[in-house]
Amino acid sequence: MTGLLPFETALARLLEGAAPLPAETRPLDDCAGRMLAADVAARLTRPPFAAAAMDGYAIRWDDRHRPWAVVGESAAGHGWAGTLGEAQAVRIFTGAPVPAGADVIVVQEEVARDRDSARMTGDGPPRRGAHIRPAGQDFAAGDQLIPAGTRLAPPHLGLAAAAGHGELPVVRRPRVTLIATGDELVPPGATPGPGQIISSNPAMLTALLHSAGAVVSDPGLIPDDRAALAAALAAADADLILTIGGASVGDHDLVVPVLNDLGADLDFWKIALRPGKPLLAGRLGSTRVLGLPGNPVSAFVTALLFAVPLVSLLAGRAHDLPMEQLALTQPLPANGPRRDHLRARRTDMGAEPFARQDSALLALLAQAELLIIRPAHAPPAAAGDMVDCIALDRFHIVS
């Protein structure tokens, strides 16, 4: 087992030279979660006119204690064109333009109306200008609103729309092609025949990669056949190809031989990682290739540790996984040469590793809230020792 590439070296080699992809201009409904590629300035002023903040009557402040003649109405989208004169009021609704001459709004709860006249009944507005949103109160045309490099959250999209932008320059989403290989695989929802199993990894990995900002394409299940696998690899139009399965050393593990046939440049194959030892990385032309092992937990952990940071970097996002230090609830033996990732749950006492850690166990993976990291060659650990954990529960929530 000696001589396997350390995890940290493998990850650093994969991420070397990875940078945000070029920008593209996209409609706002395709920008959420993406990195803004250029500063956004306001093209418009908001509000564009002094606007009512309450339903009521627009009047002159100095007239507030005398009766008013109601001379018109200003509703949202339908302003009142005149100029308010002395002792006059305009019926006004929230969002409507405040007529020229008016400098305060009296809320309708404090007004008695009798046909065309009205007067104030309550304490009235607290000050001149009350309940009026001045033009440009939010921002003015030319204001810098969102700096380049921002990860666009829903409020940014509302702001950009209000500021006159129907589309924004954003970093292109990384395109990932998932190629699942194996004669035993049938798609989710199918009834497996003798010796067959459901291909569950693509559903899991597609969701994981989406959460990192990728668009994922999947050409369907590829049999253990050199020509079929070569054709699928050659047809992929992607920034990253992820193969699943067939990465090990069996006679039907074809990913490495087929990549070699295609002239791929293999960087590493097999690393000091558990689960996920048979991980491979390289390039096919300009496309990065990651070959993930087929065991579901191995596929998940390698995708989380390698594909997620790479895709996040290409998408222009922060690529750190959510980490936590927690106390161990029980002792652990010394670790071997592969950095280990123990599926675990949270308890009041800290991180509790599951008793079973087989890399085929999906039901336990789905229950895991944490991956306890055991560095390569870690000495035995006692209950209460602090360990680094990947907070899977937080990862799913924040992404």
Ligand X SMILES: Nc1nc2c(c(=O)[nH]1)N[C@H]1C(S)=C(S)[C@@H](COP(=O)(O)OP(=O)(O)OC[C@H]3O[C@@H](n4cnc5c(N)ncnc54)[C@H](O)[C@@H]3O)O[C@H]1N2
What residues line the site for ligand MOO (CB under 6 A)? Answer: 274-277, 293, 295, 298, 359
Q: Which of positions 143-202 make contact with ligand X (CB under 6 A)?
A: 180, 182, 184-185, 197, 199-201
Per partner kind, with CB cut-offs from 5 to 8 A, the member of ligand X, ligand MOO, none near residue 63 is: none
Question: Cβ 137 to ligand MOO, closest distance in Å?
Answer: 58
Q: Is 97 in the site for ligand X (CB under 6 A)?
A: no
Comparing C-alpha atoms, which of 73, 71, 55 is closest to residue 63? 71
Question: Cβ 286 to ligand X, closest distance in Å?
Answer: 25
Q: Rank residues 206 and 248 by Cβ distance to ligand X and give the closer one.
A: 248
Per partner kind, with CB cut-offs from 5 to 8 A, the member of ligand MOO, ligand X, none near residue 179 is: none
User: In a 10 Å sphere around its CB, with 0-12 CB exposed, 13-18 middle and 19+ buried, how is residue 268 labelled?
Assistant: middle
Whose tokens are 């507005």? That residue is 125
Question: Cβ 260 to ligand X, closest distance in Å?
Answer: 16
Tell me if 272 sits within 8 A of 4, measured CB to CB.
Answer: yes
Q: Is 302 in the site for ligand X (CB under 6 A)?
A: no
Per partner kind, with CB cut-offs from 5 to 8 A, the member of ligand MOO, ligand X, none near residue 225 is: none
Tell me if 87 sits within 8 A of 57, measured CB to CB.
Answer: no
Token duo for residue 37: 């590629």
Question: Cβ 243 to ligand MOO, closest distance in Å?
Answer: 14
Per partner kind, with CB cut-offs from 5 to 8 A, the member of ligand MOO, ligand X, none near residue 56 is: none
Binding residue (CB under 6 A) for ligand X from 277, 317, 338, 339 = 277
DSSP string spanning 153-222? -HHHHHHHHHTT-SEEEEEPPPEEEEEEB-TTEE-TTS---TT-EE--HHHHHHHHHHHTT-EEE----B
Question: Distance (Å, rounded) from C-alpha 276 to C-alpha 338?
Answer: 10
Question: Distance (Å, rounded) from C-alpha 349 to C-alpha 352?
Answer: 8
Question: Distance (Å, rounded) from C-alpha 294 to C-alpha 303?
Answer: 11
Question: Distance (Å, rounded) from C-alpha 305 to C-alpha 229?
Answer: 25
Q: Rank residues 125 and 275 by Cβ distance to ligand MOO and give the closer one.
A: 275
Comparing C-alpha atoms, which of 188, 392, 209 is closest to residue 314? 209
Binding residue (CB under 6 A) for ligand X from 45, 74, 88, 248 = 248
Q: How many CB atoms lie within 10 A of CB 197?
A: 11
Q: Rank residues 74 and 359 by Cβ distance to ligand X and give the closer one.
A: 359
Site stretch for ligand X (CB under 6 A), options 280-288, 294-302, 363-371, 375-383: 294-302
Per partner kind, with CB cut-offs from 5 to 8 A, the member of ligand MOO, ligand X, none near residue 335 is: none
Binding residue (CB under 6 A) for ligand X from 79, 97, 125, 294 = 294
Question: Distance (Å, rounded) from C-alpha 82 to C-alpha 211?
Answer: 54
Question: Distance (Å, rounded) from C-alpha 60 to C-alpha 143?
Answer: 31
Give the residue closest to ligand X by C-beta.
294
What lies within 8 Å, CB to CB, of 227 at 6+ separation is: none
Q: Rank residues 294 and 309 by Cβ distance to ligand MOO and give the closer one.
A: 294
Tell me if 203 sits within 8 A of 185, measured CB to CB.
Answer: no
Question: Cβ 257 to ligand X, closest distance in Å?
Answer: 12
Task: Determine the size of the site formed for ligand X (CB under 6 A).
Answer: 24
Q: Is 5 in the site for ligand X (CB under 6 A)?
A: no
**Judging by DSSP bridges, how do beta strands 271-274 and 339-347 pair with one another?**
parallel
Binding residue (CB under 6 A) for ligand X from 293, 309, 316, 350 = 293
Binding residue (CB under 6 A) for ligand X from 56, 169, 174, 245 = 245
Q: How many CB atoms lie within 10 A of CB 241?
A: 24
Per partner kind, with CB cut-offs from 5 to 8 A, the member of ligand MOO, ligand X, none near residue 245 is: ligand X
Per partner kind, with CB cut-offs from 5 to 8 A, the member of ligand MOO, ligand X, none near residue 180 is: ligand X
Residues forming the site for ligand X (CB under 6 A): 180, 182, 184-185, 197, 199-201, 244-249, 253, 275, 277-278, 293-296, 298, 359
